[in-house]
């Protein structure tokens, strides 16, 4: 029977592909190459004449269940092939085959990891920022006026000047009339370019620049650099396709990092995940011991000042107990901590409660920035089911001490939970 593929996301009517089109990633109308699919028959060879499609899928599932390299367990689970046959076939067609050398995706994890599109559309239902004229936020938003959905200064702002002296009258000659119509056509083309640029800004969520930057920071630095480089091509492919492209590179980065971790295990002689967990635990313990040994260098800075030394010891005790250090570090060097920030008249102050106002004053953080950081941490916590301090520091790129204070405050108030 000739094999064929049925798309599980298209229809009705159902969408079918032949095996050759499926292997080439054929896309047609609403069908995309990353849609889930169903093999309607599996008793046909795919990569090797002696292996059916059913056996190929059974081999991949056995490798995922038993782990790469445990060929005897893989053969026992398959029941139809020997240990040597499983190893030879997998190494030939899935490791050394150039068609599959780039990625070896876990199918179950890929299905669970599917998320909604990550473009940032600026819907009219959102409560847009309303900065004062000529403020820093207004300049960041390129003079955008949310109430009018328009800009203070348009692209090609003086395009209308070419029309101000044109007047169509009945006694115009044919040439003069044609010239005037040409000027109007040129003006229409300039208006189209202005609208095209506005559409790009709105579709890609570039109006609220700070919100866009916070979304970018969830990627590793290598992916952020790629995002910055490829930004100029976003206007060509559209927001959804551009974000899919970036997400695919983020996935590649994660896979490469996972491969590097597995190579580290192999170099250390580890062959199963139980030993890998023990190795990670011992490695973390050694790193903590190394950090504790370096604490001596900090003590030496305050050893001549008994008051500063006591403050340092109390600070370390707070850190060890999981609390935020409440005592500012002072010494005989004459430096003083900065005074609390005056929040009078700052935008967003009315949205804070008393505890949040006190936090913003002590860490010297303007209310608008605090609200953005809080929203980003809450969204990430809801998405992950918990949040670690390291994740918070990777999400908001400010002083690490300020990040820790914000993180500890949100934990105490019950807004987020530890992972």
What does the DSSP 8-state code read for residue 17?
E
> Is the Cβ–Cβ distance between 135 and 348 less than 8 Å?
no
Q: Residue 418's beta-bridge partner residues?
A: 387
Place of tokens 């059916």: 52
| Cα end-to-end distance, the chain, whole Å | 51
> Is the Cβ–Cβ distance between 182 and 190 less than 8 Å?
no
Looking at residue 259, its pLDDT comes to 92
Q: How many residues does the chain have?
A: 419
More confident residue, 168 or 201: 168
> Is the Cβ–Cβ distance between 329 and 323 less than 8 Å?
no
Kindly report whether the global pTM for this prediction surpasses the value 0.75.
no
More confident residue, 266 or 419: 266
pLDDT tens column, 264-314? 998 988 888 888 889 898 988 888 887 776 665 555 555 555 666 666 667
Q: Which residues of 316-334 are buried (b: 16+ CB within 10 A; e: fewer)?
A: eeeeeeeebbeeeeeeeee
Looking at residue 156, its pLDDT comes to 83
Spatial distance between the Cα atoms of 214 and 400, rounded to a whole number of angstroms? 16
Ranges 101-110, 230-239, 369-378: which has the least confidence: 101-110
Written as six digits, the tokens of 257 are 């990092």
Percent of the chain with pLDDT over 90: 4
Spatial distance between the Cα atoms of 337 and 251, rounded to a whole number of angstroms? 43
Instruction: Dihedral sign for Cα 281, 285, 291, 292, please.
Output: positive
Looking at residue 257, its pLDDT comes to 87
User: 196: pLDDT confidence band, cut at 50, 70 and 90?
Assistant: confident
> Is the Cβ–Cβ distance between 401 and 369 less than 8 Å?
no
Instruction: Answer whether residue 110 shows pLDDT above 60.
Output: no
Burial class of 128 by CB neighbour count within 10 A (0 to 12, 13 to 18, 19+): middle
pLDDT tens column, 318-371? 766 655 555 444 444 445 566 778 887 788 888 888 888 888 888 888 888 888
pLDDT tens column, 31-75? 888 888 777 766 767 788 888 888 888 898 898 888 888 999 999
Query: Residue 342: which residues within 8 A CB-CB, separation 6 or more?
Result: 361
């Amino acid at each position: 029977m000739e094999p064929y593929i049925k798309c599980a996301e298209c229809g009705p009517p159902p969408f079918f592909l032949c095996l050759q089109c499926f292997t080439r990633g054929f896309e047609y109308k609403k069908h995309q190459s990353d849609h889930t699919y169903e093999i309607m028959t599996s008793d046909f060879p795919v990569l090797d004449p002696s292996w059916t499609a059913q056996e190929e899928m059974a081999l991949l599932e056995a490798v995922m269940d038993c782990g790469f390299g445990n060929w005897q367990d893989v053969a026992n689970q398959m029941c139809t092939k020997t240990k040597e046959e499983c190893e030879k076939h997998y190494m030939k067609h899935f490791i050394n085959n150039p068609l599959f050398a780039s990625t070896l995706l876990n199918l179950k994890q890929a299905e669970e990891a599917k998320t909604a599109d990550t473009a940032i559309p600026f819907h009219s239902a959102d409560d847009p920022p309303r900065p004062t004229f000529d403020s820093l936020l207004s300049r960041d938003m390129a003079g955008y006026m949310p109430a009018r959905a328009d800009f203070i200064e348009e692209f090609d702002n003086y395009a209308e000047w070419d029309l101000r002296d044109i007047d169509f009258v009945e006694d115009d000659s044919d040439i003069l009339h044609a010239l005037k119509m040409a000027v109007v056509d040129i003006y229409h083309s300039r208006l189209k370019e202005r609208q095209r640029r506005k559409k790009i800004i709105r579709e890609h969520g570039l109006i609220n620049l700070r919100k866009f930057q916070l979304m970018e920071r969830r990627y590793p630095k290598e992916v952020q650099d790629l995002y910055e480089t490829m930004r100029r091509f976003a206007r060509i492919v559209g927001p959804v396709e551009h974000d899919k492209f970036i997400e695919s590179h983020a996935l590649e980065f994660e896979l490469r990092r996972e491969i590097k971790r597995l190579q580290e295990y192999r170099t250390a002689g580890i062959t199963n995940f139980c030993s890998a967990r023990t190795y990670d635990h011992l490695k973390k313990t050694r790193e903590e011991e190394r950090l504790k040994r370096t604490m001596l260098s900090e003590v030496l800075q305050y050893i001549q000042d008994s008051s500063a030394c006591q403050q340092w010891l109390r600070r370390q005790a707070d850190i060890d107990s999981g609390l935020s250090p409440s005592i500012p570090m002072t010494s005989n060097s004459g430096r003083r901590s900065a005074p609390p920030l005056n929040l009078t008249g700052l935008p967003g102050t009315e949205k804070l409660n008393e505890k949040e106002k006190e936090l913003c004053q002590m860490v010297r953080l303007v209310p608008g920035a605090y609200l953005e950081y809080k929203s980003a941490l809450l969204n990430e916590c809801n998405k992950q089911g918990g949040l670690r301090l390291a994740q918070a520091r990777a999400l908001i790129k400010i002083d690490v001490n300020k990040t820790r204070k914000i993180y500890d405050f949100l934990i105490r108030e019950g807004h987020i939970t530890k992972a």
